[in-house]
Amino acid sequence: MIDYSHRFKTLETNVVHAGAPRPNIAGAVVTPIFQSANYLMEDESEYDEVRYIRLSNSPNHLSLQARLAAIESGQAALVVSSGMAAITTSLLAFVSAGDHVLAQKTLYGGTQSFFDHDAPRFRIEHTAIDTVNGGPEDWEAALRPETRVMMVESISNPLMEVGDLEAVVAFAKRHDLVTIIDNTFASPVNFRPLEIGIDLSVHSATKYLNGHSDLVAGAVIGSLEHVDRVRQLQLHLGGSLDPHTAYLLERGLKTLALRVPRQNQNAQRVAEHLAGRDDVGRVNYPGLPTDPGHEVASRLFSGFGGMLSFYAGDDARAERFLSTVRIPIHAASLGGLESLVVRPARSSHLGQSPEVRQALGITDDLIRVSIGIEDADELIADFDQALGAA
């Protein structure tokens, strides 16, 4: 019998060794790729015991899921086909027709589009709440008898807001709500939401967990009870991850504790430099003392992340900056080794109307930056030349 339960004391050791099969399969130091859709039948007594890729129980799935659970202090984890699969399957596991969700007002565009366009088809409603400037009194006003879930982000996309997450946990427990947090931007290196009482942490593993911009995957981490509820729905919706991608994600995870601190350091320096320029509007980064989320982030996070955004001044200047910058790549996504720049109004939040984007602060001149592991001085010099040309 292969054991995947090994855990260690520190995140740095867990990202390398937790969940590794023991004894090693055929003596392999690295978990081999089990590119098999099905396995020999044994003495299964329940459907979940049948070994089949869609049931997320190949050796690649089991090892990866055990490692993810260990690094984020969860009892269990589930890997799925994308970050959106992680988000939507988790939500749908805890709400039904007629139910209601309290959702942070600034969410990733895909999540918001699900609430706006897809959830109503299932008679699931949501109310946007402010977790930064609002509090329990405001949330009470939005609460309904049919409210079942609170959905938040550890660092919001693309404004880098950090809400009062401890207040969210207390409020949800008081009203018997399930809390789901998108922890993609923070990563387990900077924040482990389950440790403060959040029920489920979801990730687009495409981003920091993998870190190499070469796969798409999602992860759900939490208690055995909560993750199993998501797993049972995932079996029917079919958003499974193939073993080769699981292998690549496990490989990417091993350098997580090296990559993220470097990205934290680089982002802090770039944010501070941009904030000091007179020709740049507000810089959104929780590591800046002037940022509204700085106090909460300083208390809860180990680092402020590799994501920032800033206002270039106007639409045309933003476009000139994107066409002039040399090191960052003008592309969507985030969390890779390379720095990326993009306008959220033309990418992640393009599905929202201009009026909604404007009201949220996602204006046409907002530029989101995913900082990589390049030399910080060279990045800053490149930003300066691009802003000068713009």
Residues that are catalytic:
54, 108, 182, 207
**Cβ count within 10 A of residue 216:** 17
> Integer distance in angstroms from the first to the last C-alpha of the chain?
62
Peptide bond into 158 cis (omega under 30): yes
Q: How far apart are CA 207 and CA 65, in angstroms?
A: 17
Q: Which amino acid is at 115?
A: F
Q: How far apart are CA 274 and CA 196, in angstroms?
A: 32
Q: How far apart are CA 201 and CA 193, in angstroms?
A: 7
| Full 3-state SS string of the chain | CCECCCCCCCHHHHHHHCCCCECCHHHCCCCCCCCCCECCCCCCCCHHHCCEHHHCCCHHHHHHHHHHHHHCCCCEEEEECCHHHHHHHHHHHHCCCCCEEEEECCCCHHHHHHHHHHHHHHCCEEEEECCCCCCHHHHHHHCCCCEEEEEEECCCCCCCCCCCHHHHHHHHHHCCCEEEEECCCCHHHHCCHHHHCCCEEEEECCCCCCCCCCCCCEEEEECHHHHHHHHHHHHHHCCCCCHHHHHHHHHHHCCHHHHHHHHHHHHHHHHHHHHCCCCCCCEECCCCCCCCCHHHHHHHCCCCCCEEEEECCCHHHHHHHHHHCCCCEECCCCCCCCCEEECHHHCCCCCCCHHHHHHHCCCCCEEEEECCCCCHHHHHHHHHHHHHHC
Q: What are phi and psi of 260, to 5 degrees?
A: -65, -45
- Smallest CA-to-CA distance from 262 within 362, 375, 351, 166 is with 375
